[in-house]
Chain A
Amino acid sequence: MNSHPAYNPHSVGLIKTNYFTFGTPPDYPLVMKSGRTLAPVTLAYETYGTLNESKTNAILVLHALSGTAHAAGYHSLDDPHPGWWDIYIGPGKVFDTSKYFVICSNVIGGCNGSTGPSSINPETGIEYGIEFPIVTIQDMVNAQWHLIQHLEIPKLLAVTGGSMGGMQALQWAVSYPEMVKSSIVIAAASSISAQGIAFNEVGRQAIYRDPNWNNGDYYRTGVPGNGLALARMIAHITYLSEKLMHEKFGRRLQDTELYSFDFHSEFMVESYLYHQGIKFVNRFDANSYLYMTKAIDYYDLKADYEDNLLHAFESTTSDFLVISFTSDWLYPSIQSREIVNALRANGKNVVYTEIETDRGHDAFLLPDDRLERNISNFLKSQYRKMDL
């Protein structure tokens, strides 16, 4: 039993997800960017490490499209996989839980314990489905603000995340400047490109066109698994680089040596994507997938500031570490540089580095010495300044 990785001294060990609910009357509901309201709102979250007495060591970790509150450790000893950023969070790791108090908050609109389209709408007694209000990155951050208030943390040492998590980290620094000492934005953008929207839309179309989708009303009739799996397969291609795919699969065939000259999947890359799709259907809700991709597509930080990114960062007091990956074609480096340039023009403290890698967009989820070293050193100097 003691050989379970949860007992590794660098693991945060066995972890339980917590739930925080707000907006129950007489509390105010959450007012969304669309103007609609949401109440009550539950956020799933996990914490690792201990908040110090002066409350200066809290780090908020924000997840990407399909992420959950479960960023590190194991839920049980039967749990075969640790949390999604376990490589980076734990005693002695980059987000060193022997020094820092790490919080990972799920987003609203999701399907892993927070209020989303698969939650019961108190007004109707059935699942929201697509009656759920459209969620934006700003709404996600505003909901998390309630959680941080609830945890009574006046100022976060850092907010961080990759991809959609990076968008949230960026938004946190802009929406709540007084609460964010530093922001670590990885493989993200202040708005996604037309190409990114295009891929998201093809994914959504796959779901809409699954007959099981039934306008989002499928919770008692059977999920649109084919559509969701296809959406995931498409998205997964964008998370890898051409080179990585070539190295991983090449033109190799699965379970056979010769072409069968028919339409069965036989290339290894085909069966890999197929497997990714199936796996995803078992853990993710199709409606949530629609909401998450829409949140990413709608995100345009400068739109709230007269279409000028420079204005967006005027009042932020946060220090920034912005990191991009050379082979990331979903959130290419040029988009990170756009953020950095706007910050520099505002005279803000910002470190920017582009990590050379063939691993594509998902590189932030994988071990990388340079990523680890840079984040860890940045945190160290931020922590020194936070204590002053």
Chain B
Amino acid sequence: MEDLQSFQRIGYDLIINEIPEGSRVLDLGCGNGKLLEELQTTRQVDGYGVEISAEGVSMCLEKGLYCYQGDIDDGLADYRDNSFDYVILNQTLQHTKRPRFVLQEIMRICRNTIISFPNFGHYTMRLQLLLKGRMPKNSLLPYDWYNSPNIHLFTIEDFQDYCDMHSYPVRQELHFSVNSDSKSRIKGYRPNLLAEFGFFILDGKSFVSK
């Protein structure tokens, strides 16, 4: 797992930009609570977190956040339908054991959801696999295959297909790469090849599960 101290601020600016003041927000896999803390300071949100590590929960407590230590693979059932304005799944979906179930639960409990993930279709990934014949390992996915928490890797186009297949209404796509100063740079042109991270905002409110 990532070092909780050096949790990267991937996509924070895009997320903060999207969330209106005073929203009720649930951050799944909130780590040390940095994003929630920033959302609380800049957007005065009602922030809640779910985090698998006890250390992460302790760090959230330090920041005065409410956090539940648990596995998001089975920890969402108790939340009521549409009970959060925003559910955030930032660089977390690829860690889940049952992404399909997690997404279904998120769509049930959220009015909106922000889902961001490392894009396995990025050209650096493709080149490493094509030219070296090795599992990609770089700043996006800095793990060896044997110690990676990323157990469900996918590309932006995979996720677009997935949303189509399940009739999840995509409200906005803001695929991006990260600058050295950790600011996000939107990649509008051929994102599946050129964006390091996928970024989807789905409309959970008007979604009715079949």
What residues on B are CB-neighbors of A380 within 8 Å? 64
Q: Does A386 contact B (CB under 8 A)?
A: no
A353 B78 Cβ-Cβ under 8 A: no
B70 A352 Cβ-Cβ under 8 A: yes
Docked complex: B27-85 residues within 8 A CB-CB of A: 48, 54, 57-58, 60-62, 64-70, 77-80, 83
28 contacts between A and B (CB under 8 A): A319-B66, A337-B70, A340-B68, A341-B78, A342-B78, A344-B78, A344-B79, A349-B48, A350-B68, A351-B57, A351-B61, A351-B67, A351-B68, A352-B57, A352-B67, A352-B68, A352-B69, A352-B70, A353-B61, A356-B54, A370-B54, A373-B58, A373-B62, A377-B58, A377-B61, A380-B64, A381-B64, A384-B64
Q: Fill in one digit per residue for B149-187: 1 if any A CB lies within 8 Å of its CB, else 0.
A: 000000000000000000000000000000000000000
What residues on B are CB-neighbors of A352 within 8 Å? 57, 67-70
**Supplied contacts A352-B70, A353-B58, 5 more A-B pairs, CB within 8 Å:** A340-B68, A341-B77, A353-B61, A374-B58, A374-B61
Q: Does A178 contact B (CB under 8 A)?
A: no
On chain A, which size bracket covers the interface? 20 to 34
B70 A377 Cβ-Cβ under 8 A: no
A349 B54 Cβ-Cβ under 8 A: no
A353 B66 Cβ-Cβ under 8 A: no
A residues bordering B, Cβ < 8 Å?
A: 319, 321, 337, 340-342, 344-345, 347, 349-356, 370, 373-374, 377-378, 380-381, 384
Contacts A341-B78, A342-B78, A347-B83 given: A370-B66 contact, CB under 8 Å? no
Chain A's nearest CB lies how many Å from the CB of B47?
10
Q: How far is the CA of A21 from the CA of B62 in the complex (A)?
A: 40
Chain A residue with minimal CB distance to B76?
A: A344
What residues on B are CB-neighbors of A342 within 8 Å? 78
A370 B64 Cβ-Cβ under 8 A: no
Q: How far is the CA of A345 from the CA of B81 in the complex (A)?
A: 10
Chain B's nearest CB lies how many Å from the CB of A339?
11
A377 B68 Cβ-Cβ under 8 A: no
Q: How far is the CA of A352 from the CA of B67 in the complex (A)?
A: 6
B78 A345 Cβ-Cβ under 8 A: yes
A377 B62 Cβ-Cβ under 8 A: yes
What residues on B are CB-neighbors of A319 within 8 Å? 66
Chain A residue with minimal CB distance to B83?
A: A347
Q: What's the dominant secondary structure at chain A's contact region?
A: helix
Q: How far is the CA of A380 from the CA of B62 in the complex (A)?
A: 9
What residues on B are CB-neighbors of A321 within 8 Å? 61
Pick from A341, A345, A349, A353: contact of B57, CB under 8 Å: A353
Between B48, B58, B80, the greatest number of chain A beta carbons within 10 A of the residue's beta carbon is seen for B58
Chain A residue with minimal CB distance to B51?
A: A353
What residues on B are CB-neighbors of A370 within 8 Å? 54, 58
What residues on A are CB-neighbors of B70 within 8 Å? 337, 352
What residues on A are CB-neighbors of B48 within 8 Å? 349
Q: How far is the CA of A354 from the CA of B58 in the complex (A)?
A: 11
Chain B residue with minimal CB distance to A347?
A: B83
A378 B54 Cβ-Cβ under 8 A: no
B79 A353 Cβ-Cβ under 8 A: no
Chain B residue with minimal CB distance to A341?
A: B78
What residues on A are CB-neighbors of B79 within 8 Å? 344-345
Q: How far is the CA of A112 from the CA of B83 in the complex (A)?
A: 47
B66 A351 Cβ-Cβ under 8 A: yes
B68 A344 Cβ-Cβ under 8 A: yes
Chain B's nearest CB lies how many Å from the CB of A355?
6
A354 B54 Cβ-Cβ under 8 A: yes
What residues on A are CB-neighbors of B54 within 8 Å? 353-356, 370
Q: How far is the CA of A374 from the CA of B57 in the complex (A)?
A: 9
A351 B60 Cβ-Cβ under 8 A: yes
Q: How far is the CA of A377 from the CA of B57 in the complex (A)?
A: 11
Q: How far is the CA of A340 from the CA of B50 in the complex (A)?
A: 12
Q: How far is the CA of A140 from the CA of B164 in the complex (A)?
A: 57
A378 B61 Cβ-Cβ under 8 A: yes
Chain B residue with minimal CB distance to A343?
A: B78
What residues on A are CB-neighbors of B60 within 8 Å? 351
Chain A's nearest CB lies how many Å from the CB of B24?
8
Chain B's nearest CB lies how many Å from the CB of A51?
24
Chain B residue with minimal CB distance to A346?
A: B80
Chain B's nearest CB lies how many Å from the CB of A56?
17
What residues on B are CB-neighbors of A378 within 8 Å? 61
What residues on B are CB-neighbors of A356 within 8 Å? 54
Q: Fill in one digit per residue for B2-21: 1 if any A CB lies within 8 Å of its CB, else 0.
A: 00000000000000000000
Pick from B64, B66, B80: contact of A345, CB under 8 Å: B80
Chain A's nearest CB lies how many Å from the CB of B69?
5
A350 B66 Cβ-Cβ under 8 A: yes
What residues on B are CB-neighbors of A377 within 8 Å? 58, 61-62, 64
B69 A349 Cβ-Cβ under 8 A: no
Q: How far is the CA of A112 from the CA of B178 in the complex (A)?
A: 64
Q: How far is the CA of A227 from the CA of B164 in the complex (A)?
A: 69
A347 B68 Cβ-Cβ under 8 A: no
Q: Would you list the 9 A-B pairs with minimal beta carbon distance, nearest first?
A: A381-B64, A341-B78, A345-B78, A377-B61, A353-B57, A353-B69, A349-B66, A352-B68, A377-B62
